[in-house]
Amino acid sequence: MAAALENELEVDNEDYYSLLNVRREATQEELKSSYRRLCMLYHPDKHRDPELKKQAEQLFTYVHQAYEVLSDPQSRAIYDIFGKKGLEVEGWEVVEKKRTPAEIREEYERLQRERDERRLQQRTNPKGTISVGIDASDLFDRYEEDFEDVPGGGFPHIEINRMHISQSIEAPLTTSDTAVLSGSLSTHNGNGGGNINLCVRRVTSARGWGELEFGAGDIRGPLFGMKVFRNVTARCFVTAQWGLQFSSRGVKPSATTMMARNLDQNTMGYLQWRWGSQSAMTTSIVRDTKTSHFTLALQLGVPHSYLMMSYQYKFQDEDQTKVKGSIKTGFFGTLVEYGAERKISRHSVVAATVSIGVPQGVSLKIRLNRASQTYLFPIHLTDQILPSAVFYATVGPLAFYLAVQKLIIMPYVRAQKEQELEKHKEVSASDIARRKQEAEAAVLLMQESVKRIIDAEESKMGLIILNAWYGKFVSDNNQKRESAKVIDVTVPLQCLVKDSKLILTEASKAGLPGFYDPCVGEEKSLKLLYQFRGGMHQVLSGDTEPLKIPKQSHRIDSET
């Protein structure tokens, strides 16, 4: 639902908090004080000129609308969570007053679901996996003299020895029933086959669901299965699965049950029992936090028993980088794995894992996730543990990633951002023109008030805004060819001066009266040159940084 909300809700250009120049935590008294001041400034009855009167009426309406929303606790909670779009959803009239923001969010999601249910028939969730197995053991494990007389023997032989392709789609039948159709094709050393499966799932209640599975193929034969899920308590759930696999050798029944329980807020405990051709009992503990993921598992079974421990660290960076390591030991040997994962674009994630084991040898696994599609490239390097194979399996993917990142990915992402920015500018051109016209009208309406404020401040050597610019500033040493995109906001800021003080909140300054966004999507700043007690002051503030003037630290020499 969260993803759906992000798609449905657009970013509003008009910030009510910025328009009233109040904090997001502003009290009713602060809202009322700001509202009264703007009403005195924009009240239509104060202007005789027909054009100014018309513009004042429009701005007065905007201010009144902002105050109405923020002064009502329920509307304000909706606006804080979902913006103006949330206020437009039909059905709010039946919502009880005095609800908490959490209850309002739940009610909004219910109204969204009612609308989404009418479009269920048109929705699918395609998922796919493509796996290409590569045998590159000839790179590290061969005797050079054995191939000297063989044509082409000087070059290592690398071959694709297996492939697997699978795809699935979901088809909602009703609000509680969903059908999933999936199929796969596999080949290994020239032999292969495929199968197709149909799964029908029904949500029986908020606490459980069940599904039936039917399958057929030339590899395993017909299949019939059943699976159920049930929330036993708020912290515990169980699943059970039964299956019948038909083949030329007869019918192979199987069963699996699992119980899971929340041990604490970030830790889950699992107990699983599997009966069939590979019966086993498995218990595991999984701890997942914001910065790490830890798993400890023990399996006792026929023919394989093992102990496994893995740890993953999550960096809190923009690319969502993760590093991981694991060790697994059992009756069939020991396996050590380490690797990393990183987001390379909005919808793409790449990962590489090195596996070192006895008797498995050394292998490298590369994974690329693109939206709901997964591409796997398991590369077998050696059957023995050779230092050269371990070195190249570790360093090779890292060097390749850095080269691709610098030469391909970064230029591509930069071009995409520039393209999206240009597209956004084209789409919002009419809105920018409207906002510019409103800002210019607001400045005209402020002229008389600004004169009175300046006269009052001069009489007591108070705060006078000499010059103020808002937008994107370009230094002489950087981006010389690009011109600065700024607007003069001297009058609007002087109009906000009260008792020789100017206070701006952390909201974007583009929403202030008399302001507009001169460079949509780009980083903006506010530059001020002001006079206080006969001294010159200057300050540069970020777009969303709070600002309070005057300050002694802003003072500069008159010559400067």
Q: What is the pLDDT of residue 61?
A: 84
| 463-472 β-sheet, strand order | 485-488, 463-472, 525-532, 535-542, 555-556
Whether residue 477 has pLDDT greater than 70:
no
| Residue partners of 469: CB distance under 8 A and separation at least 6 | 486, 487, 488, 489, 526, 527
152: number of Cβ within 10 Å: 7
Q: What is the pLDDT of residue 314?
A: 93
User: What is the band of 413 on the pLDDT scale with cuts at 50, 70, 90?
Assistant: confident
| Residue partners of 514: CB distance under 8 A and separation at least 6 | 439, 442, 443, 446, 489, 491, 492, 495
Short-list 338, 363, 339, CA closest to 349 = 339
6-15, 125-134, 428-437, 496-505: the lowest-pLDDT one = 6-15
The string of pLDDT tens digits covering residues 233-285 is: 989 999 999 999 888 788 889 999 999 999 998 999 999 999 988 899 999 99
Tokens of residue 515, six digits: 């302001």
Whether residue 476 has pLDDT greater than 60:
no
Helix runs in 267-377, H state only: none
pTM beyond 0.85: the answer is: no
Whether the upstream peptide bond of residue 303 has omega within 30° of 0, thus cis, is yes
Whether residue 383 has pLDDT greater than 80:
yes
Cα 96 from Cα 144, distance rounded (Å): 81
Q: Hunting for tokens 């009756």 — which residue is that? A: 331
Cα 12 from Cα 431, distance rounded (Å): 11
Read off the DSSP letter of residue 474: -
266-291: buried (b, 16+ CB within 10 Å) or exposed (e) per residue? Answer: eebbeebbbeeeeebebebebbeeee
User: What is the band of 34 on the pLDDT scale with cuts at 50, 70, 90?
Assistant: confident
Read off the DSSP letter of residue 201: E
CA Rg, the chain, in Å? 33
Q: What is the pLDDT of residue 115?
A: 60
Q: Can you tell me whether residue 279 is helix, strand or coil?
A: coil
User: What is the band of 338 on the pLDDT scale with cuts at 50, 70, 90?
Assistant: very high
Cα 115 from Cα 247, distance rounded (Å): 46
Torsion angle of alpha carbons 153, 155, 158, 159, nearest 10°?
-50
User: What is the band of 123 on the pLDDT scale with cuts at 50, 70, 90?
Assistant: low
User: What are 329's strand-pairing partners?
Assistant: 307, 334
Length of the chain: 560
Contact 198, 214 (CB under 8 A): yes
Whether the upstream peptide bond of residue 50 has omega within 30° of 0, thus cis, is no
Q: Can you tell me whether residue 511 is helix, strand or coil?
A: helix
Short-list 315, 257, 252, 303, CA closest to 283 = 257
More confident site: 93 or 18: 18
Q: What is the pLDDT of residue 99?
A: 55
Whether residue 482 has pLDDT greater than 50:
no
What mean pLDDT is predicted for residues 167-176? 87
| Residue partners of 422: CB distance under 8 A and separation at least 6 | none
30: number of Cβ within 10 Å: 15
| Residue partners of 219: CB distance under 8 A and separation at least 6 | 186, 193, 194, 195
